[in-house]
Amino acid sequence: MDRIDRRHLLAMAGGAALLPLLPTRAFAADAFVMWRDPGCGCCLEWAKRMEAAFGRPMTIVAAPDMRAIKRARGVPDDLQSCHTALVGAFSIEGHVPPADVKRLLAARPAGVRGIAAPGMPMGAPGMEHGDHRQPYDVVAFGPGGRSTFASH
Confidence label for 24 from pLDDT (cuts 50, 70 and 90): very low
SS3 19: helix
* Residue 22 pLDDT exceeds 50: no
**The whole model's pTM is what?**
0.81
Q: Average pLDDT, whole number, for the chain? A: 85
CA 66 – CA 128 distance, rounded (Å): 23
